[in-house]
A and B are shown apart, each in its own frame.
Chain A
Amino acid sequence: MLNDREVLSTLSMIKNENLDVRTVTLGISLLDCASHDLSRFTDTIYKRITTLARDLVIVCDEVGDRFGIPVVNKRISVSPIAVAAAPFDSRGMVEVAKTLDQAAKDVNVDFIGGFGALVEKGMAKGDLALIDAIPEALDVTHRMCSSINVATTRAGINMDAVALMGRTIKAAAARTADRDGLGCAKLVVFANIPEDVPFMAGAYLGVGEASSVINVGVSGPGVVKKAIDRALQDNPGAHLGELADVIKRTAYKVTRVGEIIGREVARILAVEFGIVDLSLAPTPNVGDSVGEIFQSLGLGAIGVPGSTAALAMLNDAVKKGGAFASSRVGGLSGAFIPVSEDLNIAAAASAGHLCLEKLEAMTAVCSVGLDMVALPGDTTAETLSAIIADEMAIGMINKKTTACRLIPVPGKKAGDRVHFGGLLGEAEIMPVRSNGVSAGFISRGGGIPAPLQALIN
């Protein structure tokens, strides 16, 4: 027999605290679809995706409905297209992008990820063709996302790729200037990209993965905030160790939801269950914010002094609770701080509490990086590359994933507002200090060597 508390607290988490499963992502390998013939390749991948994902949305809705937990997004990740479509030039890559987009539309998922390349050590012909195609591909598609891994702890940072990505981001912004550079909101540059990320825009299916797999991204910042608020109501003198424990226990519950739904969807689709990504993913809705957690912990806003320490505690507690709750953990696993996707973080940036440099410092202890950061349109390609290089260095040295999703909004300056719509949200453009003075460093190219794995202080 269930007890009253178990039933009522579950209902409260769902109805009042925005507990949901943020994404169920079906990973599909396209490596065996490789062909020198473009139309044959696009036909094959279209059939592969639409066959395997035909029932994804229906099954996710059915399972979510049965458990009373909304599955907010259903998505697809595919093998890195730079590998699967290596023989094609950039025009061919754009056709592949259109095929992915059409397949996503036809099976009614909101995003498909994997238009990407792994270039941490060097760029092959397919990689160059894909990166060259990114601006046009993001312009002519609606549901397709792109990610490029330019650094790893073992290989170092490919600074040629970093320089190229700065230019690519500028070009993608220019091609989607009429939509405030929206193309860049679907483009991420990574260090140490995991092979099983279910979240967009970084989702892709690694080459070491099974032919199809279900990965789940859980959410629940609202649940964590309310749990902290309740703990402080019961015990106003609670110290941070006690609050970390509250976060840990709450993360356990949130992760269990993802685990049961992911396993059930995988069972019905007869697909292997992959991982649960233990991330606190916000949405631009009140009560579904990572930033609000900082205020519950006693900080005036995210970004003020103390924020890095608070984020370190939050991120670690989420992992500890989640790791116990799931049999297989992976992906990014931590707290996301995407500026425009979180009302509270966007407001903290507007109020001057959160600047680009503080955001960068915080990314040293959280799961992703400079995520959904709108920048002035006149930010140079070299400065974008330099910001990326800094972020990649944090990931490389700390053996963690970091990423940049930067949007230099054409024609807009610091302080202007930008609206991306939907889950991508809105924000004020952050100022970039010392724009245009990093070109000498970036233009040197080459690579920053991999760090020592000893003498690590």
Chain B
Amino acid sequence: MNKFVLSVIGKDKPGILAKISTILFTHGCNIEDVSQTILQTEFASIFIVLNPDAHPLDEIGRSLNEALADMELSAHLRPMAVPAQVPAADTQPFVITTRGVDKPGTIAAVTGAIASLACNVVHFRAIITQDEGVDEMIMIFEVDVPAGVEHRHLRRVMQETCSGFGLDVSVQHRDIFETIHRV
């Protein structure tokens, strides 16, 4: 089945999704999956789109970029290879949270440590707060930890990395958060 990935970024304002979905509809496309977020003033979204009539991507891309240019947005399209069915990896969901003064290189170091253990970050959020007049950054990583990685080892690696940046770090199974807060 013909699919492509569409990403759109730019200034956030009302009507973006309506415009994108209308253009895709006029090209006979169907949106299968979508995720969007707003960081400060910036809109970012990613779509997986079914293209049953195999309309040329450059034509769809041109239509989108012409329509979105006035809204200070840009679109990027890429064909999507539909993989054969692969078994789900044997992983456990953990949440890594760091807290400390925002310093250059922190995110690179922390994500590097996570990657070194082949853990996949599935959600990442960084929040800047003020703590007694100092900018403090809280980073929340939801990660899939391979079955072969022992959580104590993961914690040790994260603590070693984070201590160099003066960050507090915690590593907890994701279930505890859902258990406490959700009915």
Question: Which A residues contact B (CB, under 8 angstroms)?
Answer: 1-2, 4-11, 13-14, 65-69, 253, 256-257, 259-260
Contact = CB atoms under 8 A, between A and B. Distances in A.
5 contacts: A2-B142, A8-B97, A65-B155, A66-B172, A256-B180
Contacts, number: 62
Given A2-B178, A10-B176, A260-B176, 20 more contacts: A1-B123, A2-B95, A4-B127, A4-B138, A4-B140, A5-B181, A7-B97, A7-B140, A10-B172, A10-B181, A11-B97, A13-B180, A65-B151, A65-B155, A66-B172, A67-B176, A68-B171, A68-B172, A253-B181, A259-B179
> Which of A5, A65, A67, A69 is packed against the most chain B CB atoms within 10 Å?
A67
Contacts of A7: 95, 97, 140, 177
B95 A257 contact: no
A454 to B, nearest CB: 39
Interface in B150-183: 151-152, 155, 170-182
Contacts of B138: 4, 8
Given A7-B140, A8-B138, A67 B97 contact: no
Contacts of A257: 176, 179-180
Nearest to B99: A11
In order of increasing CB-CB distance, the 10 nearest A-B pairs are: A68-B172, A67-B176, A6-B181, A260-B179, A253-B180, A256-B179, A66-B173, A1-B123, A6-B177, A256-B180
Secondary structure class of chain A's binding surface, majority of residues: helix
Contacts of B175: 67, 260
Contacts of A9: 181
A260 B173 CA distance: 11
Interface of B: 95, 97, 123, 125, 127, 138, 140, 142, 151-152, 155, 170-182
A328 to B, nearest CB: 16
A257 B180 CA distance: 6
Nearest to A67: B176
Given A2-B178, A4-B140, A259-B179, A67 B123 contact: no
Nearest to A260: B179
Q: Count chain B CB atoms within 10 A of each CB in A6, A9, A68, A260 and give the residue with the most.
A: A68
B110 to A, nearest CB: 15
Contacts of B172: 10, 66-68
Contacts of A69: 176
A11 B174 CA distance: 12
A331 to B, nearest CB: 20
Contacts of A4: 125, 127, 138, 140
A2 B140 contact: yes
A8 B180 CA distance: 12
B180 A10 contact: yes
Given A2-B142, A7-B140, A8-B138, A67 B127 contact: no
A65 B150 CA distance: 11
B129 to A, nearest CB: 10
Contact of B142 (A1, A11, A14, A256): A1
B95 A67 contact: no
Contacts of B171: 68
B140 A68 contact: no
Nearest to B125: A4
Contacts of B151: 65-66
A4 B175 CA distance: 15
A65 B97 CA distance: 15
B36 to A, nearest CB: 13
Given A1-B142, A4-B125, A6-B181, A11 B170 contact: yes
